[in-house]
Structure 1
Amino acid sequence: MIEFNDVEKIYPGNVKALQHIHLTIDKGEFVAVIGLSGAGKSTLIRCINRMHDITSGQLFVDDVEVSHLRGKEIRKFRQKIGMIFQSYNLVTRTTALKNVLVSFVPQLSFWRKMLGLFSKEHKIKALTALDQVGIVDKAYVRVDQLSGGQQQRVALARTLAQYPDILLADEPIASLDPVTSAQVMDDFQRINRDMNISVIMNIHHVEMALDYADRIIGVRDGEIVYDGKSEDVTQEVLDHIYKGNVEELRETYEGEQAHVQ
């Protein structure tokens, strides 16, 4: 369970990224965080794994107060929280399999790290993770020879290999065409339902958020202005979240997707 109690995040220059955040997310939920650029969506999810420190309030993950963690405690804590980025963060000159195996490096002894040696068990787990996202046939293909969607699936497999309890995704489909975006979102939905992994996703594409997430959190100027079921989201709700600019945003997104294609 994730719990925000009156959380604030203030950046230098007194920029309030988050204010008065009260939020509880239960295990196994698929949550989409939506709102304008700069509203605080990325900050919200990045506070969960301590990529950003909160300024005030309390943030608990499975009854652990995140801001109290130090050093090795933070690294151990993050092992149960996977993070997917828009930019993939892969080593493109090596294979998909080796990119997934990177997730096991913290578990290796010093000499295995130095030699880059992984156990048979690690390799089986990595191949299983690639199979879970449908690209085990690409295991020995260099990442720079894969499509954008396949690279995002490698990044997702790398995270799944850790057996996380929580999966955070920061604009995971922003650089993908509509067909590939749907395929990647299918992966997230299947992982959420079959593996009972909580998914919290920051996403610009409103229709995708409504189609795939069970719960929508609308963020505006650093505050939560909507929190409810996706099927309860109306045009009025969207206009409130997006300050009446939702149609303009749709047109912009559709233009970007046409360019990707």
Structure 2
Amino acid sequence: MIQFDNVSKRYPNGFEALRHIDLTIEQGEFVAIIGLSGAGKSTLIRTINRMHDISGGTLAVDGINVMDLHGRSLRAFRRRIGMIFQSFNLITRTTVLKNVLTAFVPDLPWWRAVLGIFTRAEKTRALEALDKVGILDKAFVRADQLSGGQQQRVALARTLAQNPQIILADEPVASLDPVTAKQVMDDFLRINRELKITVLLNIHHVDLALQYATRVVGIRAGEIVYDGPAGQVDQAALDAIYQGKQEEPS
């Protein structure tokens, strides 16, 4: 369970990115966060794994106050939370398999990490993760030879290899064409349903949010203005979120 209790986030320049956020996400949910650019979607996602610290209120994951975590405990906590970015964050000059194997690096002895030595069990887990997203046949292909959709699937496989309870995705399909975006969203949905992993993503494709998520959270100017089932999002809800300036799906 992820629980925000009156959470706020103010940046050093005084900009208040989040205000009075009260939000509870149960294990296994598929939640899409929508809103205009600058509304606070990415900030909200990134507070969950402490990429951004909150300024006020309480944020807890499975009853653990994330602001109480430091050093080793924070690193261990982050291992339970996978993070997917728009830019994929792959090592493009090496193979797909080696990219997925980097998921294990934080847990390796320093000498294995430096030499790139992985056990058979680790390699098997990496290959299984690639199989789950349908690109096992690309394991020994260099990452820079893949399409954008395939690269995002490698990033997803890398996250799956760390066996997360939660996957956070920050605009994961923003740079993909519509057909490829749907394929990647299919992967998220299948992983959510089959592995019962909580998926929380922010997305500017409203149509994809309504099609794939079971729940939609709408943010405007750092505040939640809609929270409900995706199937109940109507024009009034979209007007509240976008103030009549709905972003066009790309």
Structure 2 CA distance, aligned partners of 1:110 and 1:233?
50
SS in 1 for 2:123: helix
Once the two structures are TM-superposed, the CA of residue 72 in structure 1 deviates from its matched residue by: 0.9
SS in 2 for 1:20: strand
Equivalent residue, structure 1, for 2:93: 93
Structure 1 CA distance, aligned partners of 2:53 and 2:72?
16
Task: With the length of structure 2 as denominator, give the TM-score of the two structures.
Answer: 0.99
SS in 2 for 1:231: helix
Q: Structure 1 counterpart of 2:141, which letter?
A: V
Q: Structure 2 counterpart of 1:134, which letter?
A: G
Once the two structures are TM-superposed, the CA of residue 111 in structure 1 deviates from its matched residue by: 2.0
Equivalent residue, structure 2, for 1:174: 174
Structure 1 CA distance, aligned partners of 2:82 and 2:171?
14
Aligned residues: CA RMSD:
0.6
Unpaired runs of 5+ in structure 2?
A: none
SS in 2 for 1:23: strand
Task: With the length of structure 1 as denominator, give the TM-score of the two structures.
Answer: 0.95
SS in 2 for 1:73: helix
Structure 2 CA distance, aligned partners of 1:210 and 1:65?
31
Equivalent residue, structure 2, for 1:210: 210
Equivalent residue, structure 2, for 1:132: 132
| 1:16-165 correspondence to structure 2 within 5 Å | 16-165=16-165
Structure 2 CA distance, aligned partners of 1:158 and 1:7?
30
Equivalent residue, structure 2, for 1:6: 6
Identity of aligned residues (%): 64
Once the two structures are TM-superposed, the CA of residue 110 in structure 1 deviates from its matched residue by: 2.3
Deviations 1:16-58 (A, max 9, x none): 1000000000000000000000000000010000000000100
Once the two structures are TM-superposed, the CA of residue 239 in structure 1 deviates from its matched residue by: 1.1
Unpaired runs of 5+ in structure 1?
A: 255-261
Once the two structures are TM-superposed, the CA of residue 13 in structure 1 deviates from its matched residue by: 2.2
Could you list the structure 1 runs, at least 4 aligned residues long, displaced by more than 2 angstroms after superposition: none
SS in 2 for 1:31: strand
SS in 2 for 1:106: helix
Q: Structure 2 counterpart of 1:95, which letter?
A: T
